[in-house]
């Protein structure tokens, strides 16, 4: 099945306690597509300026990513600069230069409109809504958002939430959007706005999948070589949606498997600047790390946990 991502393509300048880099390829659509393309073909929509070096995305062309939806407009490409503190969790934004992204009005190529799995990266809610209206028969639509849209465009965000199936946000955003301190209570409030599937990101502590009335809690993969967290959330989304599109089945077990896949892909992302680690992954590495993560959450039942009748069956 076809997978569509609409988001940003950017150049990042990142400083960490260990190293720094300038003009590194970034953006939500880039990170998403880099991860998702290991599992399915990806249709990408984004905008760059005429200063963008197209050679920087040759690796995407070779990774089953369709770039027909990449617009090149006169002006500068979106640029972001950030500095991570010693804990590699907190960061400060040094600058944001939107460039041509500021006036981005995504229009889908005709052959993108039959995409069935859709990911709307962190852009204005009204643009996200308009994209959904351009799709012929979407099967599963997921979106990202952030505090800025929650507080500044609340009504438009709620309009968009009403037409999507899945919302991927962090725990503080759940509290802000729902007005509830308890994220599980808050998730119910958000489900009443539209999406019946929520993924609550908790950074180094993993994520929580809430689907209808079911829960799945997935830890993060222990990573000793934490190099740059930039793009980890979009990489997670790429692994999650890429797996779902490959499976083409929205059963709860596949949503759980998709969360595991997204978690694993994000763990590779943080091991390098930009998408450098994602460019060179082998399928065997992905399989090995999935097995490693599954072993972290696997536990066999103990007889003392079982009733008398259940013990007889063991």
What is the CATH classification number for the domain harbouring 285? 3.40.1190.20
For the chain, the domain total comes to 1
Q: Is the residue at 245 inside a domain? A: yes
Q: Is the residue at 313 inside a domain? A: no
| In the predicted structure, residue 161 carries a pLDDT above the cut 80 | yes
Residue entry with tokens 């599980």: 184
SS3 301: coil
pLDDT tens per residue across span 4-36: 999 999 999 999 999 999 999 999 999 999 999
Q: Is the residue at 314 inside a domain? A: no
- The whole-model pTM stands at 0.95
Average pLDDT of the segment spanning 278-285: 96
Q: Is the residue at 308 inside a domain? A: no
Q: Is the residue at 246 inside a domain? A: yes
Q: Is the residue at 107 inside a domain? A: yes
Question: What is the per-residue burial (b if ≥16 Cβ within 10 Å, else e) of 119-131?
Answer: bbbbbbbeebbbb
Q: Is the residue at 303 inside a domain? A: no
Packing angle of the helix pair 252-269, 283-297 (nearest 10 deg) = 120
As a whole number of angstroms, the distance between CA 171 and CA 297 comes to 21
User: Residue 197: which domain range?
Assistant: 3-298
HSE (side-chain half, CA atoms, 13 Å) at 257: 15
Q: Is the residue at 311 inside a domain? A: no
pLDDT tens per residue across span 131-150: 999 999 999 999 999 999 99
């Amino acid at each position: 099945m076809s997978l569509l991502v609409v988001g940003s393509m950017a150049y990042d300048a990142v400083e960490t306690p260990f190293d720094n880099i300038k003009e590194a390829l970034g953006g939500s659509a880039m990170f998403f597509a880099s991860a998702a393309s290991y599992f399915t073909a990806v249709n990408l929509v984004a905008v760059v300026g005429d200063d963008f070096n197209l050679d920087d995305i040759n690796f995407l062309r070779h990774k089953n990513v369709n770039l027909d939806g990449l617009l090149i407009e006169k002006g500068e490409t979106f640029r972001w600069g950030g500095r991570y503190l010693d804990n590699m969790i907190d960061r400060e934004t040094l600058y944001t230069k939107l460039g041509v992204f500021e006036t981005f009005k995504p229009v889908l190529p005709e052959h993108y409109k039959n995409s069935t799995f859709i990911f709307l990266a962190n852009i204005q809610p009204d643009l996200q809504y308009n994209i959904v209206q351009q799709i012929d028969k979407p099967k599963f639509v997921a979106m990202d958002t952030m505090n800025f849209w929650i507080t500044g465009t609340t009504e438009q965000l709620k309009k968009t939430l009403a037409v999507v199936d899945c919302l991927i946000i962090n725990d503080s955003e759940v509290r802000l959007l729902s007005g509830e301190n308890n994220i599980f209570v808050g998730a119910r409030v958000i489900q009443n706005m539209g999406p019946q599937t929520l993924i609550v990101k908790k950074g180094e502590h993993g994520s929580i999948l809430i689907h209808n009335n079911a829960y799945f809690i997935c830890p993060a993969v222990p990573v000793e070589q934490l190099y740059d967290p930039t793009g980890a959330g979009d990489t997670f989304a790429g692994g999650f949606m890429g797996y779902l599109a490959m499976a083409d089945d929205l059963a709860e077990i596949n949503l759980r498997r998709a969360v595991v896949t997204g978690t694993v892909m994000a763990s590779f992302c943080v091991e390098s600047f930009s998408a450098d680690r994602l460019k060179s992954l082998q399928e065997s590495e992905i399989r090995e790390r999935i097995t490693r993560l599954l072993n972290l959450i696997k536990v066999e039942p103990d007889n003392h946990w079982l009733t008398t009748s259940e013990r007889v069956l063991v």
